[in-house]
Structures are given as structure tokens and as C-alpha cells.
Amino acid sequence: MASKNSVVRVGVIGPGGAGRGNTLAFATRDDVEIVAAADNNEQSLDALEKGLQERVENYKENSFKRYVGEYEFIEMLNWEDLDIIGIFSPHSLHDIHVKYALRTGCHVLVEKPMANIVGDAIAITKIAMGSGLHLVGGYQRHYENTYMAGKQAIAEGLIGTIQKFDVYLAQRWGAAGWRGDPRFSGGGQPNDSGSHLQDIFLWMTGLLPKEANGTTDMNFEDDEGQLVLKSVEINSKTNITMDNGASGTVTILGNTRTGFEEWVILEGDEGTLEIKDGIRLIPKDGEPQPLEFQRPEGYPESKIDQLVGLVKGEYNANYTSGVNGIRTSWLTNSILEAGKQPDQQQLINCDTILEKEGYSRQSVLNLIDECVSRQMY
């Protein structure tokens, strides 16, 4: 569905922090106009105005309409003539905001996680598909050459059948602001930055979780070395078995003094793929070698470019479609459920996570197949 406007008209919900950066990424395109923004906090809109003045050439002062208040996003969606809504609100509000935006006929970019609960992620995806609207998730690694090379290597069978994996993220994540409030967080660090690494692991491999066994905790060491008990999950370490029988560990740490650190290591029966400070292939009984990668012609440059291009009819394929939100929420929900008892591991059958929401593994597989048939990856 192409835009009815020559310039794509964008409204945003929650343009504070990372949301402001995403909004400016829209605004700095010649083919986009920021029409309106909604936020609880007037200061967030002030900061957005300042950023637009600094970053956008020929920007006219106070040219976007402000909607201030908890429910004013409804007024914005009802009355503004918008093509796209960028949703950058706290995690627990994503599915509410996405559903309303889709039902008012807007294409959507939603920051990660797409939804806190896998059932909501499924519902959102189905609404978008039924409406013929584009839904793009906030997983920017899908547009990074390193991870695109990894996905291609797996698809070409360079490491054979995946048997083991190690997915790791460490960040000094202190649960600041709304991220530390259980009402808005939806699962602490595993559901925040940790969502990115879970997503890219699932996107590259196409695997789905079968069993989870692990722990979480809410411990954070402050700058003075004092242990502080937070109100949301800070760390998780979970042993996961995937649907093809592969097993490994997903580790998400927020209590660390190191800088941001991440890796994905995938071991197959024909070799190992290591994505850590770059990417390299280690063939079975061979020497490590770098992977050569040619970015496909016409592949979107970013999640912003992806959605704008889809709306304008310049792209046909969606590489951060709703299916990624479904897979990732399913894995995150399994990690959090397995870690509910911090002093002891408990084994979770991941199918039960879906069944509580009224779905089954087969229904998810069918939905993924339908998405693929529509070039939604």
C-alpha cells in the first residue's frame, strides 16, 4: 500500500531518548515530514523541537503539532492525516499503541520489544496483515552487514546443521527511569537490550525455542560497590533447547562494569560461525577465515529506510516484520518464566507459553509460512 502523499507524513508516540533519535532519522529524509508528536512529558517534545532545529535543514520552528498527555495519542491518530506512526513508548504500552495505530490505518515502526507478551505480538502481526499495512520492528541488526553475512552463511549451509550456540550480551544497565518500573519494563534487561540479541539469533537461524531452564536476578552493583536490589530483572542465564535439537545458553547481563559487549557463536556439524568483534567462519578441521559479504542490491539501509520504502512502494520485502517480534517475545517470555525462582532453575516447556495465550506451535509455524509468502522476514 503506497502513501497517498508525495511526502510521507509521520507522527510519533514517545519521542524521548532513543525515540527522539528515531524521529530525527525520519526527519532528516527529504521525503518525510514530522507532522505531530504525542508524549506525557512536555520536555520530551521540547527536546524534539530542539533536535529538529539543529538537525533538519530549512526546518520551520514549531512546525509539528504537540499532543501532551497519557491518552492524547488517540486524538493525534484520530485527527491527523498520517501515513506512518513511530511508536517509541515504554515497553508495556507498545501493543496498545500499535493496535490503535493500525486500526486508524497507519503503517507502524515500533521499537523493541514489539510486545511484552507473545500473544500480543501474534495479534499485532495478524492485524497488520489483515489490514494490508506495514509493520516494522525496531531490530536494526537486520541491516548490519555482519549479521546479514551470518544469516547468509547459515542459509548456504556453511556450518551445516546447528548443534550448539552461545548468545551473550553484557551492559552496565541500572534500570533507570521507566525501565526500572515493572509496570512499564515487562522484564528488565532480558526484555530491553537483551531483546536485540535474542532477535538476531532467531533471525539468522530461523530456530524456535522448545525448552528453557535458567535463572534471573535483580541484583545491581552501584558505582560505590554496594549491591542494590532492583525491581526488575537485571541478569539472566538460560539454557535453551531449540526445535531442531540444538542446545546452548542465552546470557543477558546488566550488572557489569565493562562496556557494551555482545557475541553470537553458532556451532554446526560442518563448522562454527563466530560473531564477536566481527565475523569469522571456522570450518570443521580447518583454519578460521573471514567471511566475504556482498550486500544485496536494493536492500534497505535501516529500519527507517525499510518502512518509508515499503510505504512508498520502493521495497517489496520487509526484513524486520512482525514475525521477529513473535519469535523474540516467545523466547523472552520463556527466559523470564524459567527464571521466576531465582534460587533454583526450573524447566519450562516453551509450548505452554503459547498455549496460555490461546496459540500453539503449529499455529506460529503456519503464521511464519504465511509471512514468508508475503515477503515478510
- Position 67 confidence tier, pLDDT thresholds 50, 70, 90: very high
Check whether 342 has a pLDDT greater than 80.
no
- Position 346 confidence tier, pLDDT thresholds 50, 70, 90: confident
| pLDDT of the residue at 285 | 87
- Position 49 confidence tier, pLDDT thresholds 50, 70, 90: very high
| CA distance to 18, 36, 56, 327, per residue, from 63 (Å) | 21, 9, 12, 39
Section 59-82 average pLDDT: 97
Supply the DSSP string of 112-130, one letter for each residue: SSS-SSHHHHHHHHHHHHH
d(CA 109, CA 304): 8
Check whether 232 has a pLDDT greater than 80.
yes
| pLDDT of the residue at 137 | 98
Q: Residues of the chain with pLDDT > 90: what percent?
A: 94
Section 76-100 average pLDDT: 98
Residue-range domains of the chain with CATH? 8-138 (3.40.50.720), 142-373 (3.30.360.10)
Check whether 1 has a pLDDT greater than 80.
no
pLDDT digits (tens, 9 = 90+) for 97-156: 999 999 999 999 999 999 999 999 999 999 999 999 999 999 999 999 999 999 999 999
| pLDDT of the residue at 6 | 86
pLDDT digits (tens, 9 = 90+) for 156-175: 999 999 999 999 999 999 99
- Position 5 confidence tier, pLDDT thresholds 50, 70, 90: low
Residue pair 265/274 in contact (Cβ under 8 Å)? The answer is yes
| β-sheet with 65-68: strand ranges across | 65-68, 32-39, 8-13, 84-87, 107-110, 135-137
Check whether 344 has a pLDDT greater than 80.
no
| pLDDT of the residue at 341 | 77
Residue 43 DSSP SS3: helix
Pairing of strands 84-87, 8-13: parallel
**Torsion angle defined by CA atoms of residues 123, 129, 134 and 140, in that order, rounded to the nearest 10 degrees:** 50
| pLDDT of the residue at 3 | 62
Supply the DSSP string of 233-256, one letter for each residue: --EEEEEEEETTS-EEEEEEE-S-
**Residue indicated by cell numbers 545458553:** 249
Q: Is the peptide bond before 290 cis (omega within 30 degrees of 0)?
A: no
